[in-house]
């Protein structure tokens, strides 16, 4: 990655540019929300879209509504008109949404209602009425069977999902609230409450070379994505401790993903890539160095509300695509003074859209604002994204990582983004 880059101090006047490889294959989601340091729960706060909530509530009362309509219809119409179809539909609708007891009770209520009506009209035992009663009883029995099958499959799915979540927690633990003198907060927001686990990742580590971190997005979903995340984070933790430069860390990750690719066949081997940002904050220097491999640019929020995007002129291809091209990584560098906060995120944030298809722009939303702590920044961003998407319009998971340098005496360092030689 060559060249140099600088821009206006507050990032104004520049067009939004998405790095190569930022847009990845979609279709991967994972359940649960993660929050960062400070003892906050990793999971919870799952919010279903309002239309889904309303539809679910309507379905819950629909069986009772059908029974009531059936009774009223039968009582207000001549005996030759039958309400048996309504009584048959009630237990079938209850089967996938109610528990076993609720489904059984709905079937019994439907059968009993039809029988009571036949007694009322004195038609018990007639061939047509007997056939209708047998049909309702049979459908009620089938509804109970459907309920048992659905519940069994749901339990198996929930078990698999819990296993995947446990695997993810093992490879993506909550970072400490303070690392190397820096305040840290992380948060994970799932696009859907019951979605598959995907490949968003983050890791922060104190090393002899300073505090180093990685934020990335592995292509894929499910346990395969968790496996790839484990490879990236494992390679990062080892390389961050051993390698003297950030460029060398990036090359170690490239080689690790190349080895992982040899174990895969077909499309997974060809498209197994990871967008990522690597960063380091050296001890005793108020600077941040960074390498961008096809990932959304991090944001630097200064204490006075000024905002800068940490971008480079020629973003590189994502990690894991080294067989397509080869180039030397060169780290960008920017001042990181006391009171400033770095915000790293995945494209689930920058590609969140509202009903009109307008993307959420974190730089525009955060410019001019000041937050007292990293977790306050992440909470505000997450809440704004939910509001922007209408509470349920997120199409991709998002991982957020904020790092703040506490206010201190200024240390000489670069005042604008440059590229190290």
Q: Say if residues 185 and 37 touch (Cβ distance below 8 Å).
A: yes
Confidence of residue 375 (pLDDT cuts 50, 70, 90): very high
12-16, 189-193, 309-313, 388-392: lowest mean pLDDT where? 12-16
| pLDDT category of residue 363 using cuts at 50, 70 and 90 | very high
Other Cβ atoms closer than 10 A to 64: 13
- CA dist 219 and 232 (Å) reads 12
Spatial contact of 180 and 281, defined as CB atoms under 8 Å apart? yes
Q: What are phi and psi of 143, to 5 degrees?
A: -65, -40
Contact between 295 and 277 (Cβ < 8 Å): yes
Instruction: Say what the pLDDT of residue 396 is.
Output: 76
- Residue 310, token pair as written in the block: 């940490």
Confidence band for 344, pLDDT divided at 50, 70 and 90: very high
CB-CB neighbours of 23 under 10 Å = 12
Q: In the numeric block, which tokens belong to residue 121?
A: 């009209």
Residue with tokens 């967008």: 275
Report the candidate in 191, 186, 199 with the shortest Cα–Cα distance to residue 352. Answer: 191
Q: Which fold has domain 174-419?
A: Phosphatase 2c; domain 1 (3.60.40)
pLDDT at 138: 94
**CB 202 within 8 Å of CB 172:** yes
Confidence of residue 51 (pLDDT cuts 50, 70, 90): low
Please, which pLDDT band fits residue 46 given cuts at 50, 70 and 90? very low
Whole-angstrom distance, CA of residue 252 vs CA of residue 243 = 9
Report the distance separating Cα 170 and Cα 146, nearest Å. 36
The mean pLDDT value of the chain amounts to: 79
What is the widest separation between alpha-carbon atoms in the chain? Answer: 98
Confidence of residue 225 (pLDDT cuts 50, 70, 90): confident
**133 Cβ partners below 8 Å, 6+ apart?**
111, 114, 115, 118
Residue 32's pLDDT is what? 42
Contacts of 36 (CB under 8 A, 6+ apart): 174, 175, 177, 184, 185, 186, 187, 374, 375, 378, 400, 401, 402
Q: How confident is the model at residue 191 (pLDDT cuts 50, 70, 90)?
A: low
Query: Cα(16)–Cα(349) distance, rounded to whole angstroms?
Result: 14
For residue 124, what are the CA distances in angstroms to 79, 116, 140? 12, 9, 20
CA–CA dist 316, 1 (Å, integer): 6
- What are the structural domain ranges in the chain? 51-161, 174-419
Give, for 216, the enclosing helix (H) or strand (E). strand 210-218
Instruction: Identify the residue with better confidence: 353 or 268.
Output: 353
Segment (H or E) for 280:
strand 274-281
Residue 265: its pLDDT value, please? 55
């Amino acid at each position: 990655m060559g060249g140099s880059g600088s821009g206006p101090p507050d990032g104004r006047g520049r067009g939004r540019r998405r790095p190569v490889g930022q847009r990845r294959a979609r279709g991967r989601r994972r359940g649960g929300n993660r929050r960062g340091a400070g003892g906050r729960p990793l999971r919870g706060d799952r919010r279903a879209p309002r239309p889904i909530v309303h539809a679910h509530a309507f379905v819950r009362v629909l069986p009772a509504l059908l029974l009531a309509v059936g009774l009223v219809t039968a009582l207000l119409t001549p005996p030759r008109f039958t309400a048996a179809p309504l009584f048959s539909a009630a237990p079938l609708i209850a089967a996938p949404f109610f528990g076993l007891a609720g489904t059984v009770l709905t079937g019994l209520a439907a059968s009993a209602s039809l029988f009571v009506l036949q007694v009322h009209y004195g038609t018990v035992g007639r061939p047509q009425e007997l056939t209708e009663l047998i049909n309702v009883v049979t459908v009620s029995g089938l509804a109970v069977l459907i309920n048992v099958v659905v519940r069994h499959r749901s339990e198996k799915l929930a078990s698999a999902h819990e296993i995947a979540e446990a695997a993810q927690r093992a490879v993506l633990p909550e970072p400490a609230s303070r690392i190397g003198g820096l305040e840290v907060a992380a948060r994970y927001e799932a696009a859907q409450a019951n979605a598959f686990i995907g490949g968003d990742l983050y890791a922060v580590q104190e090393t002899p070379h300073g505090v180093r971190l990685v934020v990335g997005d592995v292509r894929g979903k499910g346990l395969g994505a968790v496996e790839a995340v484990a490879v990236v984070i494992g390679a990062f933790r080892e390389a961050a401790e051993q390698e003297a430069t950030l460029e060398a860390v990036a090359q170690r990750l490239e080689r690790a993903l190349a080895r992982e690719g040899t174990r895969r066949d077909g499309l997974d081997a060809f498209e197994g890539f990871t967008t990522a940002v690597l960063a380091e904050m050296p001890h005793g220097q108020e600077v941040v160095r960074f390498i961008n491999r096809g990932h959304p640019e991090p944001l630097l929020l200064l204490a006075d509300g000024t905002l800068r995007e940490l971008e480079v002129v020629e973003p590189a291809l994502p990690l894991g695509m080294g067989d397509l091209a080869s180039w030397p990584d060169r780290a960008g560098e920017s001042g990181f003074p006391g009171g400033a906060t770095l915000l790293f995120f995945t494209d689930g944030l920058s590609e969140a859209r509202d009903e009109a298809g307008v993307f959420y722009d974190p730089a525009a939303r955060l410019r001019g604002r000041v937050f007292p702590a990293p977790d306050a920044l992440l909470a505000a961003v997450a809440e704004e994204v939910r509001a922007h998407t209408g509470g349920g319009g997120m199409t991709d998971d998002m991982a957020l990582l904020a790092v703040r340098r506490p206010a201190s005496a200024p240390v000489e360092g670069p005042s604008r983004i440059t590229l190290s030689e």
